[in-house]
């Protein structure tokens, strides 16, 4: 294994640092990652991979066949977020773009997907140049639109498992606000399911001075939001993990016009299929019930905006990864993590391929800042998390740790 990583020298690190800063400066929204995909494809080609672009719209697949042995898929996601960067970094993004509805949005790599792409480019290079030290096939997956929960599905629907070697194991890693240089693993459920739903509530518009002539959807929406908050607190066991957030509530244009509709957008996260089903059907019951109580002229309409499956790490494969990490990095840099309420579509690759998958975390926070914040009990305030406009991982040792972790985990199968 050291034979493969021996080529990871200062020159390789400097090249990847430049790549990371360039990707950070040029974030692209979900399903528009053309520039990023082009860079990843070119690097894979240079390293000797067979490369296919446009898999699931903007996805890139690289295949490196190196004799008899297991097929190991390594996945990185590429999309950025509609966040206005406020890190003040010299390579901060000032980019803007348009979302799927054509609305102008600021853009930032606020979830670390630029680092994920850099890690996979670095690992692909090293595995290719050190190919005399292992046997098997490496499948490099650069995935679009993770933040929409749509990119993994798009690649699978575009024939990922029919057109390319089927992986025997799927590996992925994510940047988290833990101390840089540390690795976080967990067997079993590691990230939550997530369902985003938009609900249209119908009322009957009228003059603000004559509410008796209408059905006020603002009051209906307000009552619905309050009642929705009792689902987790009153219908889900306190021993379960679940959260329901109404993050958007829209109605009306003018103070003296009762509008004829209101809309609610909500997000639900759980850690089991049963709790998810229960919560989703409770939402329907509450929303339809409140509409009826209000005398709404029409039933509410539900639209699913996104669905993320539960992310479950195969226990045996996780143990194999954790053991390889401990051997390479030492026990003090390898930690078990708590399950997270965040969500991922990574799990779909393993589920569809019928292969075990492992998703682990790589710390990116300045270790001194982290230690001080932890001591002061101010982690939430002083260490910006994923999706924050201040999210600013330190480049090293974050970059090197992620590259080495990906190579180390892949070799746990390929050796
Ligand atoms: Zn994210
Ligand atoms: Zn992410």
Considering Cα of 378, then 383, then 388, then 389, what sign does the dihedral take? Answer: positive
Are 131 and 243 part of one and the same domain?
A: no
Are 301 and 259 part of one and the same domain?
A: yes
N- to C-terminal Cα separation, the chain:
8
pTM: 0.91
- Long-range Cβ contacts of 205-212 (<8 Å, 24+ apart): 205/257, 205/258, 205/259, 205/260, 206/258, 207/256, 207/257, 207/258, 208/255, 208/256, 208/257, 208/258, 209/256, 211/258
What pLDDT, on the 0 to 100 scale, is given for residue 101?
Answer: 85
Q: Which ligand is nearest to the CA of 81?
A: 1
Q: How many residues does the chain have?
A: 415
Ligand 1 mean position to 271 CA, how many Å?
18
Q: What are phi and psi of 386, to 5 degrees?
A: -55, 140
pLDDT of 1 > 70? The answer is no
What pLDDT, on the 0 to 100 scale, is given for residue 390?
Answer: 97
CA 187 to chain centre: 18
Closest C-alpha among 301, 277, 278 to residue 288: 301
Rounded CA separation 363/394 (Å): 9
State the pairing for strand pair 136-143/71-77: parallel
Task: For residues 115-124, give the mean pLDDT.
Answer: 98
Domain residues for 113?
A: 2-191+310-414
Contacts of 298 (CB under 8 A, 6+ apart): 202
Q: Are 131 and 50 in contact (CB under 8 A)?
A: no
Closest C-alpha among 74, 101, 49 to residue 321: 74
Are 20 and 138 part of one and the same domain?
A: yes
Are 177 and 32 part of one and the same domain?
A: yes
Are 217 and 342 part of one and the same domain?
A: no
State the pairing for strand pair 50-55/104-106: unpaired
**SS3 sequence, 165-229?**
CCCCEEEEEEEEEEECCCEEECCEEEECEEEEEEEEEECECEECCCHHHCECHHHHHHHHHHHHH
Catalytic positions are: 79, 146
Ligand 2 mean position to 112 CA, how many Å?
6
Residues bordering ligand 1, an ion, CB closer than 5 Å: 111
Are 284 and 299 part of one and the same domain?
A: yes
The model's pLDDT over 269-298, given as tens digits with 9 standing for 90+, comes to 999 999 999 999 999 999 999 999 999 999
Ligand 1 mean position to 106 CA, how many Å?
15
Rounded CA separation 20/9 (Å): 17
* Of 261, 291, 307, the domain-final residue: 307
Ligand 1 mean position to 109 CA, how many Å?
9
What pLDDT, on the 0 to 100 scale, is given for residue 299?
Answer: 97
What pLDDT, on the 0 to 100 scale, is given for residue 99?
Answer: 87
State the pairing for strand pair 261-270/242-251: antiparallel
Residue 277: exposed, middle, or buried by beta-carbon count in 10 A (0-12, 13-18, 19+)? exposed
Are 231 and 167 part of one and the same domain?
A: no
Tell me the sheet residues that pair with 365. 179
* Of 240, 274, 307, the domain-final residue: 307
Cα angle 29, 164, 37 (rounded to 5 degrees) comes to 25
In percent, how much of the chain has pLDDT > 70?
Answer: 100
The model's pLDDT over 210-233, given as tens digits with 9 standing for 90+, comes to 999 999 999 999 999 999 999 999
Q: Which ligand is nearest to the CA of 172?
A: 2
CATH of the domain at 231: 3.30.70.360
Rounded CA separation 224/261 (Å): 13
Rounded CA separation 79/116 (Å): 10
Ligand 1 mean position to 343 CA, how many Å?
8
Ligand 1 mean position to 387 CA, how many Å?
6
Task: For residues 163-167, give the mean pLDDT.
Answer: 98
What pLDDT, on the 0 to 100 scale, is given for residue 2?
Answer: 63
Are 64 and 80 part of one and the same domain?
A: yes
Tokens standing for 44?
A: 């894979």
Are 262 and 322 part of one and the same domain?
A: no
Tokens standing for 324?
A: 């390889």
Ligand 2 mean position to 268 CA, how many Å?
18
Are 369 and 266 part of one and the same domain?
A: no
Residue 377: exposed, middle, or buried by beta-carbon count in 10 A (0-12, 13-18, 19+)? exposed
pLDDT of 409 > 80? The answer is yes
* Of 279, 307, 335, the domain-final residue: 307
pLDDT of 109 > 60? The answer is yes
Please state, as a whole number, how many other Cβ atoms lie within 10 Å of the Cβ of residue 47.
20
CATH of the domain at 336: 3.40.630.10
Ligand 2 mean position to 341 CA, how many Å?
13
Task: For residues 385-400, give the mean pLDDT.
Answer: 97
Q: Describe the chain by its helix, strand, coil percentages, rounded to 5.
A: 40, 30, 30
Q: Which ligand is nearest to the CA of 175?
A: 2
Cα angle 181, 412, 359 (rounded to 5 degrees) comes to 55
Are 270 and 165 part of one and the same domain?
A: no
Are 59 and 177 part of one and the same domain?
A: yes
Ligand 2 mean position to 226 CA, how many Å?
30
Q: Are 339 and 190 in contact (CB under 8 A)?
A: yes
Q: Which ligand is nearest to the CA of 173?
A: 2
The number of domains in the chain is 2
Closest C-alpha among 119, 106, 109, 126 to residue 76: 119
Closest C-alpha among 361, 373, 365 to residue 396: 365
pLDDT of 100 > 90? The answer is no
């Amino acid at each position: 294994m050291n034979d493969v990583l021996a080529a990871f020298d200062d020159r390789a690190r400097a090249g990847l640092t430049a790549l990371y800063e360039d990707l950070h400066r040029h974030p692209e929204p979900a399903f528009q990652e053309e520039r990023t995909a082009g860079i990843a494809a070119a690097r894979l080609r240079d390293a000797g991979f067979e490369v296919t672009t446009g898999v699931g719209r903007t996805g890139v697949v690289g295949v490196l066949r190196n004799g008899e042995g297991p097929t190991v898929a390594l996945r990185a996601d590429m999309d950025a977020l509609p966040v206005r960067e406020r890190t003040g970094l010299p390579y901060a993004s000032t980019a803007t773009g348009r979302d799927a509805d054509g609305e102008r949005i600021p853009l930032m790599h606020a979830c670390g997907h630029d680092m994920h792409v850099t890690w996979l480019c670095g690992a692909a290079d090293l595995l290719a140049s050190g190919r005399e030290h292992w046997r098997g096939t490496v499948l490099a997956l650069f995935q679009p639109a993770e933040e929409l929960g749509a990119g993994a599905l798009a690649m699978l629907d575009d024939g990922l498992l029919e057109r390319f070697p089927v992986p025997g194991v799927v590996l992925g890693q994510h940047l988290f606000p833990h101390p840089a240089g540390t690795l976080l693993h967990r067997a079993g459920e590691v990230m939550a399911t997530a369902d985003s739903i938009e609900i249209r509530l119908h009322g009957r518009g009228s003059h603000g001075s004559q509410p008796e002539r209408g059905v006020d959807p603002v009051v209906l929406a307000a009552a619905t939001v309050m009642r929705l908050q009792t689902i987790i607190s009153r219908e889900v066991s306190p021993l379960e993990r679940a959260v329901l957030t109404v993050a958007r509530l829209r109605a009306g244009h003018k103070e003296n016009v009762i509008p004829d509709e209101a809309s609610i957008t909500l997000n639900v996260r759980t850690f089991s299929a049963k709790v998810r089903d229960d919560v989703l059907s409770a939402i329907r019951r509450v929303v339809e019930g409140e509409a009826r109580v209000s005398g709404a002229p029409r039933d509410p309409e539900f639209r699913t905006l996104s669905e993320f499956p539960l992310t479950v790490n195969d226990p045996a494969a996780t143990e194999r990864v954790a053991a390889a990490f401990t051997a390479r990095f030492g026990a003090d840099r390898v930690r078990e993590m708590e399950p997270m309420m965040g969500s991922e579509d990574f799990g779909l690759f393993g589920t569809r391929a019928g292969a075990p998958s492992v998703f682990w975390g790589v710390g990116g926070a300045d270790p001194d800042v982290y230690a001080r914040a932890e001591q002061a009990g101010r982690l939430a305030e002083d260490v910006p998390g994923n999706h924050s406009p201040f999210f600013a991982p330190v480049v090293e040792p974050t970059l090197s740790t992620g590259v080495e972790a990906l190579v180390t985990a892949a070799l746990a199968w390929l050796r």
